[in-house]
Amino acid sequence: MIKRFISRLLGSTARAPRKSRLQRIPASEHGLPRERISPCALKVTETLQQHGHAAFIVGGAVRDLLLDKTPKDFDVVTDATPEQIRALFRRAHIIGRRFRLVHVLCGNETVEVSTFRASAAGEQGEGAHVTDDTGRIVRDNVFGTQESDAERRDFTVNALYYDPGKEEIWDYRGGVQDIRNKVLRIIGDAGTRYREDPVRMLRAARFAAKLDFHIDETARAPMPELAELLANVPPSRLFDEMLKLMLSGHALRAVHQLRAEGLHYGVLPMLDKLLGDETGSRFLTAALHNTDLRIQAGKPVSPAFLFAALLWHEVLERQRAHLDAGENEMPALFAAMEEVLDKQREALAIPRRLDGTIKEIWSLQPRFAQRTGGRAWRLLAHPRFRAGYDFLLLRAESGEAAQDLADWWTQFQSADDALRANLIAGLAPAAAPRRRRRRKPSANRPVESPPAHD
C-alpha cells in the first residue's frame, strides 16, 4: 500500500514517458465523416466484429478523415490472428516478414489488416523483439493488446482507433487533441523510438509537410544526432519512404523540412549543394512544385522523372569535370550519368528498372539543341520525347537551358507538318553553313539511331 502510494507520487517524474490513458470519444464530439470510409474497410471491420473480434480502422485514415483529407488507404487492426483473419475472407492472403499481416481484397481495393502488436517498451514486448546492435527492430511479430498496439505506433495522431460500428474513436495518447493543435508528438522516448526505426524521422518530416503540422520539440531534438542511423536502414526501404515523401503532394515543403532537420545527408546528400546554388535551387523548386501540382490534380508522376530531376545537377557537375579533362560532350555525359547513379545507390536504392528511363531523359537533353535536318522530327518520334521535353521546360524555368529553345519545342510539337517545316527552316541560316561543309542535307537521309542509353 505504502509502496504503491510512493510509486504514485514518483510516478509522473520517475516513469517518463507518461503512460497512456484511454479516452473513448463519441461521434458527437469527433465528427469523423463515416460515409467517407471505403466500403471495403467497413466490410472488413463488420465481418471481424460479427465473428466476435475487436476491429478498428486505424492510423493515417482516421487522422486524415479528422482533418477532412482523403485517406491514401485504409488500415484495419484487430485482435484476430493472421490465420483467423484469412479464414474469414474469400480473397485474403498473409504477407510480410517484419510484420505479418493480411491483405483483404474487395474488387480492386486492398485493405491491410494487422493484429494488435506488443510494444517494445511494454512487458509483453520484453525480449520478444529482435533488434540489431544499434537498437533497430528487425523483427516484430509479437501480438499484444490494443493498448500496447497504440504504444508502438509512431506519433499520437497515428494512434487513433475508429470503431465504425459504434462510431467511436479510441484515443490512448491524446491524438485527437494533437490533431486540433496541429502538432506531431512522438509516442515514448524520441531517441529510443528513432533508434528502433530511424525511418520514423523521415516520416516526421513527411507528415509535418503533408499535414502542415509543427514537429513537437521533444520529437525534433534528437534528429540531428541520430540522422546518421539512416545509413543502417536497407536502401530499398529508404527508396520507398523517399518516394512516399516525393509523392505526398507536398514534396517541396518536405524536402526543405528534411534539410532543416539535417536528415538529408543519408538519403539525398546532394541537397545541400543543390539548394546552395541559385540555378540548382530554382531547378529543384520548379521540379518539386510541378510534381506537387500534378499530384494535387490527380495526375500521375513518374518516379524515374523525379529522380532524374533530383540528380540532374550532380550529373552536370560530373560532366563538367569530364569536359575539363578533354572528353567530348556525349561521352562526358554518359560517364557522368553512370557515376552519379552508382554513387546515389550507396545511400538510397533507386531500383535498376528505373535506370533506363532516367538515363534516357538525361541523354535526350543535348539532342533538344540539335534541330536541323531530320533531327527534330526524329526526336519528336522518340518514345521518351514527352518526358524529355517536360524536363527541358524545368531546365528553362531554372535558367539552365534557353527559354527560346523550350518555346521552340512547345510550338514544334503542337504544329502541323507545314508549320514544323517552317520552324526548322527558320533555324537554317545559323545551322546550315556549318552542316553543308560536312555533308549535303537531305530530307531522305537515313534515320540516325539514338545514342545507346539503356
The set of catalytic residues is 73, 75, 154
- Report how many residues bind ligand ATP under the rule CB under 6 A: 13
- Of 65-94, binders to Mg ion (CB under 5 A) are 73
Question: Does residue 117 interact with ligand ATP by CB under 6 A?
Answer: no
Among 199, 205, 286, 354, binds ligand ATP (CB under 6 A): 199
Nearer residue to Mg ion within complex by CB, 63 or 453: 63
CB of residue 203 to ligand ATP, shortest distance in Å: 6
Total chain residues near Mg ion (CB under 5 A): 2
Q: Helices in 187-277 by DSSP H: which ranges?
A: 190-196, 199-211, 217-220, 223-226, 235-246, 251-260, 271-276
Fill in the per-residue mask, 74 to 93: x = in contact with ligand ATP (CB under 6 A), - = not in contact.
Answer: -x------------------
Residue 63 found at the interface with Mg ion (CB under 5 A): no
**Residue 213 to residue 223: CA distance in whole angstroms:** 17
Closest CA to 22 of 196, 210, 148, 211: 148
Strands 137-139 and 214-215: unpaired
Smallest separation (angstroms) from Mg ion to the CB of 2: 47
In angstroms, what is the minimal distance from the CB of 137 to ligand ATP?
9
Cis peptide before 17 (omega within 30 of 0): yes
The span from the CA of 454 to the CA of 451, in Å, is 9
154 binds, among ligand ATP, Mg ion, none (CB under 5 to 8 A by kind): ligand ATP
Select from 17-25, 124-132, 192-200, 415-423 the region that touches ligand ATP (CB under 6 A): 192-200
Contacting Mg ion within 260-319 (CB under 5 A): none
Contact between residue 263 and residue 205 where contact means Cβ atoms under 8 Å apart:
yes
CA separation, residue 90 to residues 82, 324, 429 (Å):
14, 64, 70
Instruction: Look up residue 104 and give its three cell numbers.
Output: 483483404
Report 57-76 residues binding ligand ATP (CB under 6 A). 59-60, 72-73, 75
In angstroms, what is the minimal distance from the CB of 326 to Mg ion? 52
Binds ligand ATP (CB under 6 A): choice among 30, 117, 195, 200: 200
Residue indicated by cell numbers 533488434: 131
Instruction: Identify which range of 197-205, 228-236, 270-278, 341-349 contacts ligand ATP by CB under 6 A.
Output: 197-205
**Residue 199 interacting entry, from Mg ion, ligand ATP, none, C-beta within 5 to 8 Å by type:** ligand ATP
CB contact at 8 A, 339 and 259: no
Q: Which is nearer to ligand ATP, 75 or 397 (CB)?
A: 75
Q: Which of 115, 156, 158, 257 binds ligand ATP (CB under 6 A)?
A: 158
CA dist 126 to 131, 146, 208, 358, Å?
12, 17, 31, 46
**Least distance to Mg ion, CB of residue 111, Å:** 11
Which residue of 60, 175, 249, 373 would you call a contact of Mg ion, by CB under 5 A?
Answer: 60
SS3 263: coil
Contact map string, positions 207 to 246, toward ligand ATP, x by CB under 6 A = -------------------------------------x--
Select 73 or 240, whichever has its Cβ closest to Mg ion. Answer: 73
339 binds, among Mg ion, ligand ATP, none (CB under 5 to 8 A by kind): none
The least CB distance from residue 386 to ligand ATP, in Å, is: 29
Burial class of residue 215 in the structure, from the number of CB atoms within 10 Å of its CB (0-12 exposed, 13-18 middle, 19+ buried): buried
Q: Is-contact 175 157, C-beta < 8 A? A: yes
Task: State the minimum distance, in angstroms, from the CB of residue 277 to ligand ATP.
Answer: 31
Q: How far is the CB of 42 from ligand ATP (least distance, A)?
A: 17
Residue nearer to ligand ATP on the CB measure, 73 or 327? 73
What backbone torsions phi and psi does residue 243 show, to the nearest 5 degrees? -65, -40
Query: What is the smallest separation between the CB atom of 244 and ligand ATP, expressed in angstroms?
Result: 6
Give how far Cα 241 sits from Cα of 148, 175, 331, 400, Å: 25, 23, 33, 30
Determine the angle formed by the axes of helices 303-324 and 235-246, rounding to 10 degrees: 110
Q: At what angle do helices 303-324 and 352-364 cross, to 10 degrees?
A: 60
Terminal Cα distance for the chain, rounded: 75
Block residue for cell numbers 510539337: 413
Reported as type and span, the H/E element at residue 362 is: helix 352-364
* Contact set for Mg ion, span 375-394 (CB under 5 A): none
Site for ligand ATP (CB under 6 A): which residue of 79, 178, 197, 355? 197
Q: Which of 176, 159, 146 is nearest to 55 (CA)?
A: 146
Site residues, ligand ATP (CB under 6 A): 59-60, 72-73, 75, 153-154, 158-159, 197, 199-200, 244
Site residues, Mg ion (CB under 5 A): 60, 73
